[in-house]
Structure 1
Amino acid sequence: MGEGTFVALLQFLQTHGPDPLTRQIARLAARDEARHVALGMSHLLYRLKGEPHLRTRLARAVEMRRDALAGTAGLNEEVFDALILVAAGELTPTAVARGYALVQNLMREMADGRYTRLVRLGFDPHEARELASLHTRNFM
């Protein structure tokens, strides 16, 4: 789930990066991370065909990871603020409000992506929504 979330972050930076070099680096990194996600999804789909019980182990791993990182969960305020300012592009109240809305949309896109990948792996929609919500908010 973390790799897919990171792809969304890199795509956000590709779109809203402050300069052409940053946008290009984000684009190339997103492309590379997307390959990792595709490979991981393909591998899991292959394994799940022969080992349906693996789905239960995957769900437990998500829960255990969330529990282990509960004390560190949450997006660092400085990172959140920086993303808002990057998306805003300027410091006017209107631009900052737009940047805030764009970051909120990014968070929804990340959650939707996690949910979609879990459903693709065969989790029922309710369980997929639950597991997607357990993802640590640190983008990884």
Structure 2
Amino acid sequence: MKPADGRGILMRDCQVGRAGEVPELALDGHGLAQRGSVVDPGTPDFGFAIREKKLVWADNIAELYEQGKAGQWDATTDIPWDELPVLPDDLEQAVCQVMTFLIQNEYLAMYLPAKFMNRIDPQFSEVVLFLATQVMDEARHAEVFTKRALANGGGLQYVSAATEWSLRSLLAQDDYSNGSFLMHVLGEGTFMELLMFLEQVAPDPVTARTFKLARQDEGRHVGYGISHFAYHIEQDPSIKDDLMRAAEERTLFLQQASGSSPFVLKAMMTLAGGGSHPEQLARGRDAVMGLYEEMHHKRVRELVAIGFERQDAERISELHGSGVRNFM
């Protein structure tokens, strides 16, 4: 195996010989050895709980890992912090409120894949490596949104119990398929639309850039979710029933545990309307309602694309958007 076209050796290039034979069920007694290794029979059992290929695999996982490396950016130097303008108080407070909310979501999106990484057998090494890039991505997002909240003196704002309950219901997932579906497909897919909206209504180019760079990273995470569940559903269509139940159970929990948060909604309305005067808030509210509608349509399209019937896709999307206005 040699580098091709001066681009170096890619992970896809490593899928040759024994190293390229991805088992449907991880081999016993393989420990932490890289796939394709010759393993001593006395190797201890590490007890990896996730050993089936269909539970984690995506056909483009090697490419997603390469993209994850190439897409890294620096929240210290790749944001032109010295160009951040002074904003009117209402817009600055709205930006900081949104940043406070986004940080909560980024910690969830960092902790959840990290929770599952050491359960995945390293014979599916590309998946483990890709999830490691996601953890780094989300850490960087928490960093950049924290910096933006503090950069102009506005500071971190209010955290609602509703948001915390919503995120806790995700972090509590103990099944990889359910957790990945709720986060990679429903959560981050919706979150991408939110970041695009915030980029469009941001009151200045520096703030907009924080949203843009984070959104580009989220695209890879959603790409994994879509590719993985298209593969999983093709291998085992019955998983769709389990995923539907996971969405139903989470919605029931949220409806019982909490109500909607007014803080983020008002902040989004302020940004979308250009200010906090009543007519601006009314205009902003219309824009936010349009965002919710577009989020629903996108979720339905993605669910249909991975193998759900349209009726079921509509149901799952409505569940995700009901009770608490879920972004993640």
Residues 15, 72 of structure 1: alpha-carbon distance in 2 compared, 3 angstrom cutoff: farther
* Partner residue in 1 for 2:230: 45
**Larger Rg computed on CA atoms:** 2
Q: What SS does the aligned partner of 1:134 have?
A: helix
Q: Which residue of 1 aligns with 2:263?
A: 78
Structure 2 unaligned regions, length at least 5: 1-185
Superposed CA offset, 1:40-90 (max 9, x none): 110111111111111111111111111222234554111101100011112
| Percent sequence identity over aligned pairs | 40
Q: Equivalences for 1:106-121 in 2 at 5 Å? A: 106-121=291-306
Between the two proteins, the alignment pairs up a number of residues equal to: 140
Contact 1:74-1:138 at 8 Å conserved across structures: no
TM-score (norm 2): 0.41
Aligned to 1:21: 206
The 8 Å contact of residues 11 and 26 in structure 1, kept in 2 or not, is answered as yes
Matches of 1:84 and 1:9, distance apart in 2: 13
Question: Structure 1 residue runs of 4+, over 6 Å off?
Answer: none
Q: Which has the higher contact order (CA 8 A, sep 6+)?
A: 1
Q: Is the 8 A contact 1:115 1:128 kept in 2?
A: yes
| Contact 1:10-1:30 within 8 A present in 2 as well | yes
Q: TM-score, normalised by structure 1?
A: 0.91
Shift of 1:113: 1.4
Residue 31 of structure 1: which of 197, 200, 216 is its match?
A: 216
| 1:57 and 2:242 are equivalent in the alignment | yes
Shift of 1:130: 1.2
Determine the C-alpha separation between the residues in 1 that align with 2:309 and 2:325: 23
Compute the RMSD of aligned alpha carbons.
Answer: 1.5
The structure that is helix-richer by fraction is 1
Q: Helix, strand or coil for the counterpart of 1:114?
A: helix
For 1:84, the aligned partner's letter is M
